[in-house]
Structure 1
Amino acid sequence: MFDLQKLFVQLTPPATFVQPVEGRKYTLTHSDVTAKLFLDVGYVYNCKAINWKMRDEVLAEWKKDREGRLYLAGKAYVDGGEFRKEVSGLRFNLFQKEIGTAITGIVYGDWPFYYNYPALLDAPIFVHYDSTYPEYSHVFYYGTPRQYVKQISSGFRLARL
């Protein structure tokens, strides 16, 4: 269950809630101890926030497809060949189990951005699971930001878009 109280957001200048649109990057990390989520929004990923031993972050970026339509492209690092196949399988399954929480954190953490660009609430979300093992290297469709907004019913009031 997503807990808005445990989401902490940092907007890294010169990024604002209006710009950039294309190329807007999200770095979502978490604490296993406190269950807090940390979202950095900016022009670049926050590499300092990434635990390079655990590699359990979720990265995302607004990109344009060939027709010029924006979509949210996420990435989950399963492995780069450093883990046994069984460990990579566990990581893949864990990412799949938790990706909804990660996407919800990204959407809610940047809510003023969607207020400025309400059409993006209906943009597709794709997440690439990056692995050297073909069975764990996939791109999946995860709906739209609007679907993640609708999932939360914790009394948090949002402007209607």
Structure 2
Amino acid sequence: MSKFKPEKLTVNFIPPATAYRPIDSRKYTLTHSDLIGELFLAIGNVFDYQAINYKMRDEVLADWVTINGEYILYANVYVSNGEYDKNMSRIRYMIFKRELDLALTAMIYGDRSFFTYHPLLLDAPIYVRFASSFPEFNEIAYYGTPRLYLNKVNSKRVTETQV
């Protein structure tokens, strides 16, 4: 699994979104460059469709939704829709599973000011939908809370400064 490096994350706010608002319809688009090892996070009330590589489809999209009055961070990853065979879909699924911790850490860390302003969302559940035409790779899974991901980054930074 790749290690999260805050210095390799670039965050861009799509107006009218700011570091503090909105909650409703707040959307995250996380993309990356394998070439330079950088992560790019766009935060807005729309997804950053221009940043998506439609040949690779390796982005992570997420947004805040309410279900029964409670906020949930709901993420989506695109595994396949018939353009990949079962073996390639399995590989994509496994890569997403392996790298999702890094992706969610980048999203949450990149929007950490938002959680300072809205601390109740630190304990909101995170669900990830793996979208695939193959039933075994088409699932929704629970991935903890934003607090979990911020604590990971903070504990690593404390450990690194003590060494």
Whether TM-score is above 0.5 comes out as yes
Q: Provide the residue aligned with 1:7 in structure 2.
A: 9
| CA RMSD in angstroms, aligned pairs only | 0.9
Q: How does 1:111-150 map to 2 (within 5 A)?
A: 111-150=112-151
User: Does 2:76 correspond to 1:75?
Assistant: yes
TM-score, normalised to structure 1's length?
0.94
1:42 aligns with 2:35: no
> Can you give the 5+ residue segments of structure 1 that lack an aligned partner in the other structure?
157-161
Question: Could you tell me the percent identity over the aligned residues?
Answer: 46
Within a 5 Å distance, the mapping from 1:50-129 to structure 2 comes to: 50-65=52-67, 67-129=68-130
TM-score of the aligned structures, taking structure 2 as reference length: 0.93
User: Hey, what's the Cα distance between the residues in 2 that align with 1:112 and 1:149?
Assistant: 11
In 2: Cα distance, 1:134 partner to 1:11 partner:
35
- Return the structure number with greater helix share: 2
- The alignment partner of 1:78 has SS state of strand
Query: Counterpart in 2 of 1:16?
Result: 18
CA distance in 1, matches of 2:120, 2:15: 24
- Structure 1 residue runs of 4 or more that deviate by more than 2 Å after TM superposition: 153-156
Distance 2:152 2:27 in 1: 23
Mapped to 1, the partners of 2:48 and 2:93 lie a distance apart of: 23
Aligned equivalents of 1:80, 1:23: Cα separation in 2? 26
